[in-house]
Amino acid sequence: MADALIRSKKPAASTRTPAGGAPTAPHSAQEAAEPRIDVDAVTDMLLGTWGRTRREAREMIKDPAFWQISGQTVAEHRERVLGQLRLLVENGASARAYPVEYGGLGDNGANIAGFEELVLADPSLQIKAGVQWGLFGAAIQQLGTKRHHDAWLRDAADLTLPGAFAMTETGHGSDVAAIGTTATYDPDTEEFVIHTPFRGAWKDYLGNAALHGKAATVFAQLITGGVNYGVHCFFVPIRDENGEFLPGVGGEDDGVKGGLNGIDNGRLHFDRVRVPRFNLLDRYGQVDASGAYSSDIPSPGRRFFTMLGALVQGRISLDGASTTAAALALKIAVTYGNQRRQFDSGAGTPEVVLLDYGKHQRRLIPRIATAYAQAFAHDEFLRKFDGVFSGRTDTPAEREDLETLAASLKPLSTWNALETIQDCREACGGSGFLAENRLTGLHHDLDVYATFEGDNNILLQLVGKRLLGDFAKQFTGADAGTLARYAVGQTAGKLFHGAGLRRLGQTVADLGSTARSVELGLREDAQHELLAGRVQQMVADLAARLRPASKLSPAAAAALFNENQAELIEAARAHGELLQWEAFTDALHAVTDGGTLRVLTWLRDLFGLSLIEKHLAWYLIAGRLSAQRAASVTRYIDRLCARLRPHAQDLVDAWGFAPEHVRAPIASGAERARQEEAAAYYAALAASGEAPVSEKSLHKKR
């Protein structure tokens, strides 16, 4: 499966752009003899299946017209990003997912890959483009049928028709099924009446709603013949040619936000606004002229989730963009940490480079490992998505797996991006707080990724329920052997691969002839056993604890579930971590270059062991690690950090960011130049014989 990873195209010329223009020098003579990664080959791995599209997008956004400008007013920033959307159209980068006949390329995977790279230019651009083409346009494409495509898709694609995606309400966020907006069918006029019955049902936090949207895809309870058929989506014009609200439509600006201020988020409400029956995006549910409702999906619940699932690409692109943003932050902080010096070591040597400090390594290097794991998991995720949405592998089961993957990976990567960016910010000290060095802006903009497109905790809870459901379906009364296979094959591998047992553990076990015995006990197969075993046991434990629920009153069952909610979410997180670890390991198995394999194996080990260390108490309590072995996990991580330290720059350079993508002065080599100037000053002073002596040396003389 993983060989798809090496399918990506290798460019003729190297795209490697080391920090400050200087090559990454070995850290010591010993290191010069050690393995190094093939940076260009790793770039290919990281860019993944749609590497060519990613390179196109990166080339495009080298144009400063795409870059975020710190300190712009909200109004200026909004206009700038609107202009950038027009540039995307001009560059043919707006609608790769749409069918060719509507100006697209019909390439779902490339579409997401291209959008994700926009985060390097300005996250507001990424998200506003996502609103226009990935939500508003995608609702028309995915929830509508050909006549809707004919009517609106081309205009959406070329931004003739900017639109809002009106799902969330002030009173209901992640619980979309409970929204209050109604769309009541009037057979007399063959119209739907879109109505906001109370303040909590105002549509809220909608990009393009405050200013630029001319229409909206409005989610509302479809009522016909006195029956509520649940949430459906309607195309509703909202503004006239002059940008004034149409009759019955009103709204408000959401004002300043904690980030993403290039997007005009706002509120919308509807006072009995009538739209033709035609405007129901009716791929999954139709209303005929008489008002009779029909759908291919009889279950209201399944129909609802199918409609929502058609919009999964939002979550996918957040997973990818968060990974890229975390990688950018690491590129900045590692480059600076490799140049900045602070404090002498007390050994009479020059001041120490930050990344030579044990604590600094511990802060940053495991984060590199996580970003790599996320990138590999994301590429598998994106291929799964492309398979389903291209129709090649479009089955209900595949769609359900895709949903679970999205709900597993998006929370982990969005949270990890915030933590990584924050650590990088702090690792750069006061310089990290200057807007020009980008770390604070990335944090501000990505903050909301943790709660939009589905609150992270709610998504993980969905995953947890799926894990419990799979468990209940297959393993009621099962023996221990069955459970073990469940852990190894079902919970994780199946989602990516749709197949049974995974065979891991042989490929690299013979690498480390000098490795200590304890390390051998924490190699690939042991890591997998520990990570997969934890998922399995947590799910089994939860299932056992929740089993009495079926015999309880609904209220008592709900209370029992609630008592176990935090742990269910933890189990889902463990499952997502396992997926990421497996994707990293699959990627490793496709590597042929010896140095690359060795260094990336250390990095994957660091990822796996960091996960195990994070949950060390669990492993100890569960009796899966002895106290002695647990203590060795931390020591092994320390050794891996030290081993990877000379490769840190290579590993962040391998993301292939050009200076136009990094743009942070502290990662430009300026710091190194300043230090060289200072060193030259002191050397000249010493040579002049006019350097003041220190008071201490004076004391000694006395």
Q: Based on the shown chain and the rule CB under 8 A, indicate whether residue 450 belongs to the binding site for a second copy.
A: yes
Nearer Cβ to a second copy (398/567) = 567
> Rounded to 5 degrees, what angle do the CA atoms 608, 611, 613 make?
110
The CA–CA distances, whole Å, from 684 to 28, 236, 677, 690 equal: 27, 73, 11, 9
Binds a second copy (CB under 8 A): choice among 15, 145, 286, 422:
422
Q: Based on the shown chain and the rule CB under 8 A, indicate whether residue 638 belongs to the binding site for a second copy.
A: yes
Contacts of a second copy in 91-120 (CB under 8 A)? none
The two tokens of residue 323 are 């990974």
Q: Minimal distance in Å, beta carbon 258 to a second copy?
A: 3
Q: Minimal distance in Å, beta carbon 224 to a second copy?
A: 9
The CA–CA distances, whole Å, from 649 to 26, 256, 654 equal: 10, 37, 8
Binds a second copy (CB under 8 A): choice among 243, 429, 469, 500:
429
Backbone angles phi, psi at 199, to 5 degrees: -60, -40
Q: Minimal distance in Å, beta carbon 477 to a second copy?
A: 26
DSSP state, 70? Answer: T
Q: Based on the shown chain and the rule CB under 8 A, indicate whether residue 511 belongs to the binding site for a second copy.
A: no
Can you tell me the distance from the alpha carbon of 45 to that of 391, in angstroms, rounded to the nearest whole number?
26
Binds a second copy (CB under 8 A): choice among 198, 394, 472, 520:
198
Taking residues 587 to 626 in sequence order and writing x for each that binds a second copy by CB under 8 A, - otherwise, the string is: --------------------------x--xx--xx-x---
Binds a second copy (CB under 8 A): choice among 115, 192, 235, 452:
452
Nearer Cβ to a second copy (150/563) = 563
3-state SS, residue 675: helix
Q: Minimal distance in Å, beta carbon 487 to a second copy?
A: 21
Binds a second copy (CB under 8 A): choice among 166, 223, 287, 597:
223
Q: Based on the shown chain and the rule CB under 8 A, indicate whether residue 180 belongs to the binding site for a second copy.
A: yes
Amino acid in the structure at residue 575: H
Helix (H) or strand (E) holding 542: helix 524-546
Binds a second copy (CB under 8 A): choice among 7, 10, 86, 674:
674
The CA–CA distances, whole Å, from 535 to 529, 542, 619 equal: 10, 11, 11
Contacts of a second copy in 274-313 (CB under 8 A)? 298, 300
Taking residues 33 to 72 in sequence order and writing x for each that binds a second copy by CB under 8 A, - otherwise, the string is: -------------------------------------xx-
Q: Based on the shown chain and the rule CB under 8 A, indicate whether residue 269 belongs to the binding site for a second copy.
A: no
Binds a second copy (CB under 8 A): choice among 91, 451, 507, 537:
451
Binds a second copy (CB under 8 A): choice among 31, 59, 190, 356:
356
- Region from 56-64, 239-247, 357-365, 513-521 binding a second copy, contact rule CB under 8 A: 357-365
Q: What is the chain's Cα-based Rg?
A: 27
Q: Minimal distance in Å, beta carbon 446 to a second copy?
A: 11
Q: Based on the shown chain and the rule CB under 8 A, indicate whether residue 346 belongs to the binding site for a second copy.
A: yes
Binds a second copy (CB under 8 A): choice among 230, 309, 512, 669:
230
- Region from 48-56, 173-181, 243-251, 478-486 binding a second copy, contact rule CB under 8 A: 173-181
For residues 404, 173, 233, 384, the Cα torsion angle rounded to the nearest 10 degrees is -20
Can you tell me the distance from the alpha carbon of 438 to that of 435, in angstroms, rounded to the nearest whole number?
5
Binds a second copy (CB under 8 A): choice among 348, 391, 477, 481:
348
The two tokens of residue 498 are 């749709």
Contacts of a second copy in 372-401 (CB under 8 A)? none
The residue length of the chain stands at 702
Nearer Cβ to a second copy (39/612) = 612
Contacts of a second copy in 133-172 (CB under 8 A)? 168, 170-172
- Region from 89-97, 116-124, 511-519, 627-635 binding a second copy, contact rule CB under 8 A: 627-635
The answer for residues whose C-beta is within 8 angstroms of residue 9's C-beta and 6 or more apart is 44, 51, 52
- Region from 51-59, 140-148, 368-376, 677-685 binding a second copy, contact rule CB under 8 A: 677-685
Q: Based on the shown chain and the rule CB under 8 A, indicate whether residue 74 belongs to the binding site for a second copy.
A: yes
Binds a second copy (CB under 8 A): choice among 33, 359, 687, 688:
359
**Phi-psi map region of 604: left, alpha, beta (phi>0 left; psi -120 to 50 alpha):** alpha
3-state SS, residue 344: strand
The answer for residues whose C-beta is within 8 angstroms of residue 155's C-beta and 6 or more apart is 161
Q: Based on the shown chain and the rule CB under 8 A, indicate whether residue 32 belongs to the binding site for a second copy.
A: no
Q: Minimal distance in Å, beta carbon 140 to a second copy?
A: 24
Nearer Cβ to a second copy (75/501) = 75
The CA–CA distances, whole Å, from 515 to 201, 521, 602 equal: 62, 10, 12
How many chain residues touch a second copy (CB under 8 A)?
A: 107
Nearer Cβ to a second copy (103/608) = 608
3-state SS, residue 153: helix
Q: Based on the shown chain and the rule CB under 8 A, indicate whether residue 228 belongs to the binding site for a second copy.
A: yes
Q: What is the bridge-based pairing of β-strands 182-186 and 215-224? A: parallel
Backbone angles phi, psi at 242, to 5 degrees: -90, 5
Q: Based on the shown chain and the rule CB under 8 A, indicate whether residue 12 belongs to the binding site for a second copy.
A: no
Binds a second copy (CB under 8 A): choice among 91, 286, 457, 507:
457
DSSP state, 285? Answer: -
Nearer Cβ to a second copy (65/178) = 178
Q: Minimal distance in Å, beta carbon 204 to a second copy?
A: 7
Contacts of a second copy in 517-576 (CB under 8 A)? 553-555, 557-558, 562-566, 569
Nearer Cβ to a second copy (86/614) = 614
Compute how many other C-beta atoms are within 10 angstroms of the C-beta atom of residue 689: 6
Nearer Cβ to a second copy (91/537) = 537
Q: Which residues of 172-207 are buried (b: 16+ CB within 10 A; e: fewer)?
A: bbbebeebbbbbbbeeeeebbbbbbeeeebbbbbbb
Can you tell me the distance from the alpha carbon of 421 to that of 364, in angstroms, rounded to the nearest whole number?
10
3-state SS, residue 280: strand
For residues 226, 232, 235, 236, the Cα torsion angle rounded to the nearest 10 degrees is 50
Q: What is the bridge-based pairing of β-strands 341-344 and 286-287? A: unpaired
Evaluate the CA torsion angle 532, 537, 538, 542 in order and state its sign: positive
Q: Based on the shown chain and the rule CB under 8 A, indicate whether residue 186 belongs to the binding site for a second copy.
A: no
Amino acid in the structure at residue 56: E
Binds a second copy (CB under 8 A): choice among 426, 474, 482, 501:
426
Binds a second copy (CB under 8 A): choice among 49, 456, 596, 610:
456
Nearer Cβ to a second copy (246/543) = 543
Binds a second copy (CB under 8 A): choice among 26, 258, 500, 594:
258
Amino acid in the structure at residue 50: W
> Rounded to 5 degrees, what angle do the CA atoms 147, 300, 140 make?
25
Nearest CA among 54, 44, 35, 42 for reference residue 11: 44
